[in-house]
Structure 1
Amino acid sequence: MKKLHPVSLLLLIFSLAGLAWLPIVKPASSRTLSASVAEKPVPETKNNEAVFNALYDSLDLDDKGLSEEAFRYAVRGYEHMLEDHRIEKPGYLTICDFSRSSNSKRLFLIDMSEGKLVKYTYVAHGRNSGAEFASNFSNRPESLQSSLGFYITGETYIGQHGLSLRVNGIEKGINDNAYQRAIVVHGANYIGEKWGGSYMGRSFGCPAVPAAESAQLINTIKNGSVLFIYHPTASYLKGSKILNG
């Protein structure tokens, strides 16, 4: 029998499931978390586990370094926001996994409707969030730190970094100062393959991406798609109303 392409297999499972494939996450309060960083946060799924696993596996996300727990949290929030009609441009989900080294590719742009990995590249964190690894996050203006959580992308503009994309933080007290702080997606020459083993240059808090890839990424996700910045910080995982709503 002819072997099914992974995406075809995924679509077949979707058809058989006949249900939304939302992985249900138990409230963070029911899991044991350390004071600052959650220990192995693995949200549990109750419905359509096979569908979730099929998508995760078909995109080779484990081999590419995106942890299963980071993907589960991202999908959980994405589905919650869909249910609340907060997404103007459904389909695209961008995940920045700040639990990984800045030397690693840790931005994943996924087309959820087609089951495709559209972009896999580097992304910077704020200079005051850490050196190679990010560990400190803030919503405070002029902190020069990254903010965790879910964002909705906005309009583009031409600024000092060329084509740039505004993002709107939608988690009160966590990232809702992003627009005021001028946190945007933009291209930068201080991040990318050429930096080799030394940790990447860091931004003023923006999720900056390699300059050569920025225009394509920005034009794909602009005007209403979901951006999620992840790190297993216990205060965020417990405090996010989107993850625990």
Structure 2
Amino acid sequence: MENQSVVHRLRLKRRARRMARRILPFVASLFMATPLAAPVVNSKANAASMSNALPSAKSLQAAFFSQQLHDMYRDLNVEAQGLRYEVFEKAMTGYLNLQHDGQLSDDKQLLTVVDFELPSTEKRLWVLDLEAKQVKFHTLVAHGHNSGENVATNFSNQNESNMSSLGFYVTQGEYVGKHGRSLKLNGVDEGYNTNALARSVVMHGADYVSEEFIQQYGRLGRSLGCPALPMDQKDEIIEAVNGGTCLFLNGPDQSYSSKYLDEDVAMNTLLSANS
């Protein structure tokens, strides 16, 4: 056990050194931006002061994590498509937590984000290919009938609520039902969406998800709680995201919380992937 502990400490030191090399330009810019202090006579006091001023390993990790997410957000160019950074950050944090728990497929590095804070008249679904750093799909998506009119404001995990359910999902297998080709969704956020399978909350196509419907009614049609897709894209999207990929439904619910928003787990997962 003692040898394993020593090996573990050595690995942590090597990882910290690698991280320090990556973040050095960031740290240097902080020092360059800090005014120089007056000369200190006592060299020991000066050394102690400098030691206290150095960023901790924790702050270096946080800075590296933040920089990585900002770089990916920039490379995906999703800001121009209306995906806000704070929503992307939450989605990525959950994705990394689910990846750490082994709940996601190793074959597909896909993240689907739906932002129900946006009105249904806007394209508020993104399928992100994190490996290729590309947006595979950006399209319309419907919310539940009892969640609201053009904007979703109410959410529920209860059966027959006809509302959307917020949180993180892991996609499962396809089937053919009353809406044709559909995709099962396993809700993993206890208290928010874990009844999704029992409620038959699935990804499917619907005629009421179209620009023509918006022009006629001023909003999309609404589902019984499913994230319904445009008919002309549903097959491609279902084909792409099935079989163990991450779906995150964001919305204006201040009470929402998730164990999958653990930033420490997300940071360690990202660091391991880059080590």
Task: State the TM bucket, normalised to the shorter chain.
Answer: 0.7 to 0.9
Aligned to 1:88: 105
Whether the 8 Å CA contact 1:17–1:48 is kept in 2: the answer is: no
1:17 Cα deviation from its structure 2 partner: 5.0
Q: Which position in structure 2 is the counterpart of 1:5?
A: none
Partner Cα distance (2:66, 2:156) in 1: 34
User: 1:66-215 alignment to 2 at 5 Å?
Assistant: 66-89=83-106, 90-197=108-215, 198-215=218-235
Give the whole-Å Cα distance in 1 for the aligned partners of 2:22 and 2:116: 32
Compare the two structures and name the one with the higher helix fraction.
Answer: 2
1:57 is aligned to 2:77: no
Which has the larger Rg? 2
Q: Deviations over 1:68-120 (max 9, x none)?
A: 11000000000111111111254010001101010000000001111111000
Q: Distance in 2 between matches of 1:232 and 1:130?
A: 12
Farther off after superposition, 193-202 or 154-163: 193-202
- In structure 1, what is the equivalent of residue 35 of structure 2? none
Q: How far does residue 59 in structure 1 lie from its aligned partner after superposition?
A: 2.2
CA RMSD in angstroms comes to 1.7
**Deviation for aligned residue 1:191:** 0.8
One-letter amino acid of the structure 2 residue matched with residue 233 of structure 1: D
Please state how far the C-alpha of 1:196 moved relative to its aligned partner: 3.5
* 3-state DSSP of counterpart to 1:234: coil
Counterpart of 1:142, as a letter, is: E
Structure 2: how far apart are the matches of 1:94 and 1:214?
Answer: 13
Q: Which one-letter code corresponds to 1:213 in the other structure? A: Q
Distance 2:22 2:228 in 1: 38
The alpha-carbon deviation at position 244 of structure 1 amounts to 3.8
Structure 2 length-normalised TM = 0.70
Quote the Cα distance in structure 2 between the aligned partners of 1:57 and 1:241: 27
- The residue aligned with 1:47 is 64
Any gaps of 5 or more consecutive residues in structure 2?
A: 1-20, 24-61, 264-275
Which secondary structure does the structure 1 equivalent of 2:145 belong to? coil
Structure 1: distance between partners of 2:22 and 2:138: 29
Deviation at 1:60, TM superposition (A): 2.2
In the alignment, is the contact (CA less than 8 A) between 1:126 and 1:202 conserved in 2?
yes
Alignment length (residue pairs): 202
Counterpart for residue 25 of structure 1 = none
Distance (whole Å) between structure 1 residues aligned to residue 207 and residue 22 of structure 2: 45
Aligned AA (1:227)? L
Any stretches of 5+ residues in structure 1 without a counterpart?
Answer: 1-15, 19-44
TM-score when normalising by structure 1: 0.78
Q: Which moved more, 1:52-61 or 1:66-75?
A: 52-61
Report the alpha carbon displacement of residue 161 of structure 1 after superposing the two structures with TM: 1.1
